[in-house]
């Protein structure tokens, strides 16, 4: 299936709005969406639950269902607005879900996808959302049958989900863009590891930031013992780091976040500022995109995280765009009291041969926890 063909069919169902968060399984679909010439309005929302909210409002004001796309990790974020708002027992709001299936049972995937992959269909069943599973062998007539079935649910103000297996979408037009930033993310992460005291703890975010830190730390120090990688639970790294920081006031804690992840649960900014942990340093690596899953723009590209953190009440904030800024950070950081936030603007490159953690998640947990014994 090509993205354009499906987008055309979705439009044919009377849908005019599509919103969601990008996913690697849906990479070709997302690329197609970004360059689609048809009449769909497209929004990349801060999280998947927010896309459901947008779909609810769209229906209220237009009477038309919207389409919500996401990785299956995002099902957690849609549970509340779906179960307590859109479900037929409450307001009865129709919407079509397109969900990338990471961790499909029987396939090999990363630890964070295994359990979520196993419960994906069950979660839709529990949420009263009928679904169909598609893959690269789903024939055009079968797609049509699935979309016709979906329409019968939407017409009754119910929801329907299409669960998409890896490889379903054919590559078509790749969406390529650059953000104009010059610092390279992996170089910045390597530098940060030199700047951050070895006795500090690091909590890093979901995606390639953790993978790059892992490789850089192994290369520089032969281990990654002081790094907790938030491999799943996107958007929660800063609260995990806060949890560590409040337990260990005698140590400094660095949260190395992504802009997409920071946006996902931005309430953490206000919470952390209000708690004012002096040992907390928040670094947001901002490439204005979800680079780890195909570099689609976040949809909120002009957000200035340093200004947001300042307004939330962080004790110190700064936006860094160049080498001179990194040098400043190197000098300043020793004297600055937290909570501090440095936003570092980076370009959209990453290595093709970037590895993944070799240990299990539990082994990584145990190595990190040894620091506290």
Ligand X SMILES: Cc1ncc(C[n+]2csc(CCOP(=O)(O)OP(=O)(O)O)c2C)c(N)n1
Interaction site with ligand X (CB under 6 A): 21-23, 71, 73-74, 77, 205-209, 234, 258-261, 287, 289-293
Q: How far is the CB of 60 from ligand X (least distance, A)?
A: 25
DSSP 146-175: HHHHHHHHHHTT-EEEEEE-TT-SPP-S--
Nearer to ligand X, 153 or 214 (CB): 214
Q: How far apart are the first and last CA of the chain?
A: 53
Nearer to ligand X, 138 or 212 (CB): 212
Nearer to ligand X, 113 or 151 (CB): 113
Q: How far is the CB of 351 from ligand X (least distance, A)?
A: 13
CA atoms of 98 and 251, how far apart (whole Å): 44
Nearer to ligand X, 66 or 209 (CB): 209
Tokens of 287: 């490439």
The torsion angles phi and psi of 193, rounded to 5 degrees, stand at -65, -30
Question: Kind of pairing, strands 289-290 and 296-297?
Answer: antiparallel
Nearer to ligand X, 95 or 158 (CB): 95
Nearest residue to ligand X by CB is 258
Q: How far is the CB of 307 from ligand X (least distance, A)?
A: 18
DSSP 85: I
Which of 73, 69, 67 is closest to 114 using CA atoms? 73
Q: How far is the CB of 157 from ligand X (least distance, A)?
A: 26
Q: How far is the CB of 227 from ligand X (least distance, A)?
A: 16
Residue 252, SS3 per DSSP: coil
Q: Where are the alpha helices (DSSP H) in the chain?
A: 3-12, 27-34, 48-62, 75-81, 111-126, 140-155, 185-195, 208-221, 237-247, 259-264, 267-275, 305-312, 323-332, 361-370
Q: How far is the CB of 151 from ligand X (least distance, A)?
A: 27
Q: How far is the CB of 48 from ligand X (least distance, A)?
A: 6
Contact between 84 and 90 under an 8 Å Cβ cutoff? The reply is yes
Nearer to ligand X, 157 or 184 (CB): 184
Contacts with 170 (C-beta within 8 Å, 6 or more apart), sequence order: 1, 2, 28, 136
Nearer to ligand X, 151 or 265 (CB): 265
Nearer to ligand X, 143 or 175 (CB): 175
Q: How far is the CB of 240 from ligand X (least distance, A)?
A: 14
Which of 115, 78, 109, 26 is closest to 293 using CA atoms? 26
Which of 71, 80, 93, 72 is closest to 49 using CA atoms? 80
């Amino acid at each position: 299936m090509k993205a354009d063909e499906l987008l055309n069919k979705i439009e044919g169902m009377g849908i005019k709005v599509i919103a969601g968060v990008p996913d690697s399984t849906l990479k070709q679909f997302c690329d197609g969406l970004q360059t689609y010439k048809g009449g769909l309005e497209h929004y990349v929302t801060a999280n998947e639950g927010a896309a459901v909210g947008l779909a609810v409002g769209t229906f209220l004001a237009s009477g038309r269902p919207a389409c919500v796309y996401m990785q299956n990790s995002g099902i957690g974020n849609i549970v509340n607005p779906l179960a307590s708002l859109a479900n037929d027992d409450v307001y009865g709001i129709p919407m079509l879900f397109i969900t990338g299936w990471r961790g499909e049972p029987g396939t090999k995937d990363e630890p964070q996808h295994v359990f979520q992959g196993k419960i994906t269909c069950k979660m839709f069943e529990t949420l009263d959302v009928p679904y169909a599973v598609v893959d690269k062998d789903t024939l055009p007539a079968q797609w049509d049958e699935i979309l016709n079935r979906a329409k019968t649910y939407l017409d009754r103000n119910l929801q329907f989900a299409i669960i998409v297996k890896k490889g379903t979408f054919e590559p078509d037009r790749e969406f390529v863009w650059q953000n104009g930033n010059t610092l390279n993310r992996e170089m910045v992460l390597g530098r940060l590891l030199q700047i951050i005291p070895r006795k500090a703890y690091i909590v890093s975010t979901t995606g390639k930031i953790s993978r790059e830190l892992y490789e850089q730390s192994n290369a520089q120090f032969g281990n990654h013992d002081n790094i907790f990688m938030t491999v799943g639970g996107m958007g929660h790294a800063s609260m995990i780091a806060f949890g560590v920081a409040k337990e260990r006031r005698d140590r400094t804690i660095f949260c190395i976040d992504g802009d997409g992840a920071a946006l996902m649960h931005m309430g953490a900014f206000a919470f952390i500022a209000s708690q004012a942990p002096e040992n907390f340093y928040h670094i947001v690596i901002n490439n204005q995109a979800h680079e780890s899953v195909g570099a689609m723009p976040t949809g909120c590209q002009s957000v200035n995280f340093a200004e947001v953190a300042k307004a939330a009440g962080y004790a110190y904030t700064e936006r860094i765009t160049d080498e001179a800024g990194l040098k400043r950070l190197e000098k300043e950081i020793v004297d600055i009291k937290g909570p501090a936030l440095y936003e570092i603007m980076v370009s959209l490159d990453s290595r093709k041969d970037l590895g993944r953690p070799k240990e299990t998640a539990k082994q990584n947990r145990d190595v990190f926890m040894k620091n506290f014994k």
